[in-house]
Amino acid sequence: MSPEPTGSWVNLLELPEEQISEMLRSGGLAVAVFGLGSVGLAVATVWLRAGARVVGVDVDVRKVEAIRSGRISHPEEVVVRTLSESLRSGKLRVTTDGAEAVRSTHVADVIVPLVYVPGGPDFTPLDRAIEVIGRNMRRGYVVIVETSLPPLTTETRVRPALERLSGLRADEDFALIYSPERVLVGRAVEDIELRYPKIVSGVGPRSLKVGEALYSNIAKAGVLKVSSPRVAEFTKLAEGVYRDVNIALANELARLARALGVDFTEVISVANTQPYSHLHRPGAGVGGHCIPVYPKLLSWVAQLLGVHLELVEHARSINESQPLEIVHLLVEELGKLGYFPTSGVKVSILGLAYRGGVPIATNSPTYMIAENLLRLGYQVAIHDPLIETDSYLNSAGVRLSRDLREVLLGSVAAVVVTDHRDYSELTPCDLVELSGGKLVVVVDARDIMRDGPCCGVVYVGIGRGRKCEGMRKQGQSVGTRG
């Protein structure tokens, strides 16, 4: 016999909002969180902090065993602390058995990954979670989907599957809510609880009522009720596409600024004093789970409807090519000083993480930069203060280390890709010293390094041209700080 949810079973669609809230706050509500990645662990944390009991579900046996044994890896201390305490108290348990998790809870919150593969999005993880939920939920159950989805997915894929598998009707027998996560990894709990209003939609008014009752106890910035799941789905992707398009604009304008000899950083600071100007900063490319994927999801559904998103697709192509711009700039500057790929020179890359302060490398532009430098014949070593190993780099024979001196020693060039705080404390002269006096070129793709002496290197900022002209050619070396 399946274990019962905490407290007696209730039909949440039939309860007044005040009673749903009280159930959550008092610990009478049990939530199954499907997907225990970085965001899923933060979501589980938020439910626990709101008062719920949580069953975490993931198909990765090693991940579940690690969490169960207290080995919780997450960039947020509040997540690690809350999950550890909840495991000890019994408020949290983790499992690979999704069916049992559904049977022993009142709510399923789905935050499994959705990736884009050639031809379209891969719905496999979502479909598997929905199948388990649909086969095991009962009347009065609540299904929440937080995964970022192409518009229409909740209505045309999730709802029919749940109704077919359960024999129940959405918004009459069970609640179906779409409420996209809106977080930045590294501060996800704060984003959910304090920073952003929670977007909530339902497939009907009863589902929407349940969603509002639950999230009004979590999101201190309020609940934004929208008219349909497709509006919520579209909104989440549009937020990411806005950033992608504006980053592409910054990257393109930065190329022109360099050709003109104009400091694009100065342009940004002046232009953005105009209230309708929000120029972004250029960089080495766009990484992470979200921004590189959302434009593709939106373009995919647009094509199904006969719409061509030209600007969105062109912006994505600019950002995808930005790592090659960095490689071109580096090779050009090295060539001027007599360093060519055939000499087997060593180039160091500072940063593997896709964003500063997080130990996550998904879709990082560093991969493309390293791959193309290797193809050209350079030796490549990569430093990241937060990432210790990487299977792809291991297979490519690229050294990854958390020891900056080890990475830079013997390098003739360094490329700063990630805006880690560690790099903001460095000057070009520091890199020369760590390289053993070999360094001649620094490409700072994040314009993050501290101003200071250059020790004879060419220091190039994206959109800023040469900030230090450099004075050495191949075969010459200098003291670092004399």
Among residues 91, 198, 290, 454, the one annotated as catalytic is 290
- Are 44 and 57 within 8 A, CB to CB? no
Token couple for 205: 């008014």
pLDDT digits (tens, 9 = 90+) for 98-153: 999 999 999 999 999 999 999 999 999 999 999 999 999 999 999 999 999 999 99
- Pinpoint the residues of the chain covered by CATH 3.40.50.720: 12-228, 321-469
Q: Which pLDDT belongs to residue 340?
A: 85
Angstrom distance (rounded) from CA 359 to CA 128: 28
Average pLDDT of the segment spanning 350-364: 95
Q: Which pLDDT belongs to residue 213?
A: 97
pLDDT digits (tens, 9 = 90+) for 165-216: 999 999 999 999 999 999 998 999 999 999 999 999 999 999 999 999 999 9
What's the residue count for the chain? 482
What average pLDDT does the chain have? 93
pLDDT digits (tens, 9 = 90+) for 281-302: 999 999 999 999 999 999 999 9
Angstrom distance (rounded) from CA 335 to CA 28: 68
Is there a catalytic annotation at residue 236?
yes
Angstrom distance (rounded) from CA 33 to CA 223: 20
Residue 396 has pLDDT above 90, yes or no: yes
SS3 382: strand
- Pinpoint the residues of the chain covered by CATH 1.10.1040.10: 242-317
Q: Which pLDDT belongs to residue 468?
A: 74
**What b/e string do you get for 301-311 counting C-beta neighbours within 10 Å, with b at 16 or more?**
bbeeeeeebee
**Phi and psi at residue 437, in whole multiples of 5°?**
85, 10
Among residues 63, 198, 236, 346, the one annotated as catalytic is 236
The alpha-helical segments, DSSP class H, found in 6-91 are 17-25, 38-50, 61-68, 77-89
Number of separate helices (H) and strands (E) present in the chain: 19, 17
* Burial of residue 177, with CB atoms counted within 10 A of its CB: 0-12 exposed, 13-18 middle, 19 or more buried: buried
Angstrom distance (rounded) from CA 348 to CA 333: 15
For residue 207, how far is the Cα from the chain centroid? 29
SS3 300: helix
Max Cα–Cα distance, the chain, nearest Å: 80
Q: Which residues contact 182 (CB under 8 A, 6 or more apart)?
A: 191, 192, 196, 198, 199, 236, 239
Residue 432 has pLDDT above 50, yes or no: yes
Angstrom distance (rounded) from CA 389 to CA 142: 40
Give the torsion sign (CA, 329, 335, 341, 343).
Answer: negative
What distances in angstroms separate CA 405 from CA 102, 369, 385, 399, one per listed residue? 51, 21, 12, 13
Q: Which pLDDT belongs to residue 477?
A: 47
Domain 321-469 sits in CATH 3.40.50.620: no
Angstrom distance (rounded) from CA 129 to CA 137: 12
Domain 12-228 is of which CATH architecture?
3-Layer(aba) Sandwich (3.40)
The superfamily in CATH containing domain 242-317 is N-(1-d-carboxylethyl)-l-norvaline Dehydrogenase; domain 2 (1.10.1040.10)
* Burial of residue 113, with CB atoms counted within 10 A of its CB: 0-12 exposed, 13-18 middle, 19 or more buried: middle
- Are 54 and 33 within 8 A, CB to CB? yes
- Are 40 and 16 within 8 A, CB to CB? no
Q: Which pLDDT belongs to residue 57?
A: 98
